[in-house]
Chains A and B, each alone.
Chain A
Amino acid sequence: MIAASVHEMTIAEAAALIRARRLSPVELTEAYLARIDRLEPRVKAWAVMDPERALQEAREAEQAVMAGRVLGPLHGIPYGAKDIICTAGLRTAAGSQANGDYVPAANAAVIDKLKSAGAVLLGKTATTEYAYQGGEPPTRNPWDLARTPGGSSSGSAAAVSAGMASFTLGTQTFGSLIRPAAYNGLTCMKPTFGRVSRFGVFAASWSLDHIGAFTRTVEDNALVLEAISGEDSRDPSTLQGHMPPFTNALHWDVNGMTAGIPAPDGFFAPQDEAIAAALEQAVDALRSLGIRIRRVELPACMQEAVAAHKTVMRAEGAAYHMEMYRTRADSYGPAMREQLELGYELSAVDYLQAQRVRTVFRNEMMKLFRGIDILLTPSTPTLPLPGYKTGSPMFNGPFTNAGLPSMTVPIGLDPATRLPIGMQLAGPIMGEAALIAVGHRYQTATGWHRLAAPL
C-alpha cells in the first residue's frame, strides 16, 4: 500500500516497505511516472524518459522480491541519471547538439552498479552542455519556477526536489553537485576524487570530475554511495582497495568531534544575509550536539587555486573534445565553444604549472584537517537566482580542486523568499564517514531536510 506522499518517501523508508512486501516496485515506479506526467511540463527536469523500460525493470525487481531475492536497499528504487552518463539503448545527448542522437551500446560503470543493486532507471536528467558552465537547459527550480535549479546537474537536482525520482546521479567538476543540491533543499555528497568510477561518463575534465547522488537525507546518500563506489580498472583514477561501509558512520557518536569554520568575511563570505544567519544557527545546533567549533585559516593561495582549476578545465576539456570540435565546431553552444577555444590557446607548460599549483593547494588543504575533523562553510554565496544562469560554484570549487569529500545539507529557508539554504561540510581525502556522521546527526536533530518544494 503506497502512502499519499510517496514522492516524499526516503530510500530507507521505501526499501523497508519493499523488503516487507508492503510496497511493490511496480507501484512505486508508477507513482513516480504519474508525478512526472503531472509536473514535468513546468519543471523540465528530464532530457529523455523510458517509462516502458522502467516498468519492465520494476516488474523484474518485483518478481525477485516475491522469490525472496532482495538485492539490497536500492532494490526496486526508481532513479534518474544525468544525461552525460551513458545508458545502453537510451539516448545520451549530454545536453549538446554536437552529440545529437547518440545511443550508447553499453552502460556506464555506475549504471551497471545500480542495476546490480536492483535500482530502476526512470530516465536521463537535463544538464548544461557537456556539464560545462553555459548551455543552460530550460529546467526550473521547484521551490520557485522563476529561478534556476543551479547546474550543471540541473535536472538531477530538480527531479528529486520535485519528487519525480527517489534519487538521481549527477557530476561535479567545479560546483555542479553541491550548488544545485543546496538550491533545491537536498542532501548531496561529492565523494573523494576516485571514489566512484567515471567509466562511461562524458568527461568535462579528467582530473576534476566526480560523481555523486542527490537524495533527501544523509542516510539515503550513504546507501547510494555504498552501491556506486569502488575500484574499476577501466577508470585508472579510482581508489584501490576495499571501500569502507559508509552506512556504519550513521551510528557514530559525534560528541567531541571538532569542526573548523573559516573567517566569515573571507573566501566563503556569503552575499545573502540569510545564508550567514542560517549557517550561524546550524553551527549552534552542532555545538549543542557536542561538536567543538574552531576558527581555521584557509591556504593563502585560494585565488591561484581557482585560476589553476579553471585553466586545467579548459585544457582537459579542449583535449577531450578536439576530434569532434575539429569537424563539428558549429554544433557546440557559444559558452562551451568559448572555453574550448581558450583551451586550445594554452601551452603544455601552462597546463603543467596549473597542475603543480593544484598539488600545492591540495597539500595546504589537507593541513587544514590536522586539528579538525570537518570544515563547515555555506554551500553557496547566494540563494538561487532568478532566470537561467546557474549561479556561482565558487564555494564548492576548492574541494573539487583538491579532490576532498564535501557534502551539503539543508539548514533553513530564506525568510523573505522561502528558498532553501545549504551548509557545506568538507573533510580530508577519504574522510566521507565523518561527513555522514555529522550530517546524519544534524538531520536527526533538525527538520529542514523534511521540507518539500511547494509544487
Chain B
Amino acid sequence: MPERQQQEYEAFIALEHSKYKDGHVTPEERESFAGDLRLIRSFLLPEHIAPNAAYRGEMKP
C-alpha cells in the first residue's frame, strides 16, 4: 500500500478505536439498541404469527 494510503488507514482505525475509550458500547449505539427494542415490543402482533423460520417450500404471492 502506498505510504500515504497506509497512514490514512491507520488514522481511521485509531479514530474508530477511540470511540470506545469509555466502554464497549457507545452512547449512540446504546440509544439505537433501546429504540429498536421499543419498536419491537410495542408492535401489535396477531396471535397466529409465529417466529420467522428458515424458509422451506413454496409460498405464492
Q: Do A and B come from one complex?
A: yes
Q: Taking beta carbons and an 8 Å cutoff, which residues of A are in contact with B?
A: 41-42, 44, 134, 136, 138, 140, 145, 192-194, 206-207, 236-237, 239-240, 301, 303-304, 306-308, 310-311, 314, 333-335, 337-338, 341-342, 345, 350, 352-360, 362, 366-370, 387-388, 403, 428-430
Complex: A412 Cα to B26 Cα, angstroms: 38
**For A369, what are the chain B residues with a Cβ–Cβ distance below 8 Å?**
61
* Chain B residues numbered 22-53 whose CB sits less than 8 Å from any CB in chain A: 24-26, 29-30, 32-33, 35-37, 39-41, 43, 45-46, 49-53
Complex: A165 Cα to B59 Cα, angstroms: 36
**For B6, what are the chain A residues with a Cβ–Cβ distance below 8 Å?**
138
A366-B59 in contact (CB<8A) = yes
Complex: A99 Cα to B39 Cα, angstroms: 35
Evaluate whether A356 and B50 lie within 8 angstroms (CB atoms) in the complex, with A334-B20, A350-B37 already known: yes
A429-B51 in contact (CB<8A) = no
**For A237, what are the chain B residues with a Cβ–Cβ distance below 8 Å?**
54-56
B12-A356 in contact (CB<8A) = no
B40-A338 in contact (CB<8A) = no
Complex: A353 Cα to B51 Cα, angstroms: 7
B33-A342 in contact (CB<8A) = yes
Q: Which of A206, A310, A311, A337 contacts B54 (CB 8 A)?
A: A206
Q: Which of B25, B35, B43 contacts A341 (CB 8 A)?
A: B25
Q: Which of B1, B40, B56 contacts A44 (CB 8 A)?
A: B1
B52-A356 in contact (CB<8A) = yes
7 residue pairs of the A-B complex, CB under 8 angstroms, read A207-B52, A239-B56, A308-B36, A310-B36, A334-B16, A356-B51, A388-B12
Complex: A52 Cα to B7 Cα, angstroms: 32
**For B41, what are the chain A residues with a Cβ–Cβ distance below 8 Å?**
350, 353
Evaluate whether A42 and B50 lie within 8 angstroms (CB atoms) in the complex, with A304-B40, A366-B61 already known: no
**For A192, what are the chain B residues with a Cβ–Cβ distance below 8 Å?**
55
Evaluate whether A358 and B61 lie within 8 angstroms (CB atoms) in the complex, with A42-B1, A134-B16, A334-B16 already known: no
**For A359, what are the chain B residues with a Cβ–Cβ distance below 8 Å?**
49-52
Scoring B30, B50, B56, B61 by chain A CB atoms within 10 A of each residue's CB, the highest score goes to B61
**For A350, what are the chain B residues with a Cβ–Cβ distance below 8 Å?**
37, 40-41
A355-B39 in contact (CB<8A) = no
A338-B20 in contact (CB<8A) = yes
Evaluate whether A360 and B45 lie within 8 angstroms (CB atoms) in the complex, with A193-B55, A239-B56 already known: yes
**For A342, what are the chain B residues with a Cβ–Cβ distance below 8 Å?**
25, 29-30, 33
| Pairs A-B, 4 closest by C-beta atoms | A355-B51, A237-B54, A307-B36, A358-B52
**For B26, what are the chain A residues with a Cβ–Cβ distance below 8 Å?**
338
Q: Which of B2, B35, B57 contacts A41 (CB 8 A)?
A: B2
Complex: A187 Cα to B17 Cα, angstroms: 34
**For A368, what are the chain B residues with a Cβ–Cβ distance below 8 Å?**
61
Nearest B residue to A240 via CB reads: B56
Nearest B residue to A366 via CB reads: B61
Min Cβ gap A192→B in Å is 8
What is the size, in residues, of chain B's interface with A at 8 Å between Cβ atoms? Answer: 38
**For A403, what are the chain B residues with a Cβ–Cβ distance below 8 Å?**
55
A138-B39 in contact (CB<8A) = no
Nearest B residue to A134 via CB reads: B16
B43-A429 in contact (CB<8A) = no
B35-A429 in contact (CB<8A) = no
Min Cβ gap B40→A in Å is 5
**For B51, what are the chain A residues with a Cβ–Cβ distance below 8 Å?**
352, 355-356, 358-359
**For B45, what are the chain A residues with a Cβ–Cβ distance below 8 Å?**
353, 356-357, 360
Complex: A362 Cα to B25 Cα, angstroms: 31
Scoring A301, A352, A359 by chain B CB atoms within 10 A of each residue's CB, the highest score goes to A359
**For B5, what are the chain A residues with a Cβ–Cβ distance below 8 Å?**
42, 138, 140, 145
Complex: A366 Cα to B59 Cα, angstroms: 9
Min Cβ gap A173→B in Å is 14
Min Cβ gap A140→B in Å is 7
Evaluate whether A194 and B54 lie within 8 angstroms (CB atoms) in the complex, with A41-B1, A138-B9 already known: yes
Nearest A residue to B52 via CB reads: A358
B2-A357 in contact (CB<8A) = no
Nearest B residue to A343 via CB reads: B33
A429-B20 in contact (CB<8A) = no
Evaluate whether A370 and B39 lie within 8 angstroms (CB atoms) in the complex, with A42-B5, A353-B45, A359-B49 already known: no
**For B54, what are the chain A residues with a Cβ–Cβ distance below 8 Å?**
193-194, 206-207, 236-237
Nearest B residue to A309 via CB reads: B36
Complex: A91 Cα to B26 Cα, angstroms: 33
Complex: A160 Cα to B30 Cα, angstroms: 37
Min Cβ gap A309→B in Å is 9
Complex: A337 Cα to B29 Cα, angstroms: 12
Complex: A303 Cα to B58 Cα, angstroms: 27
B52-A362 in contact (CB<8A) = yes
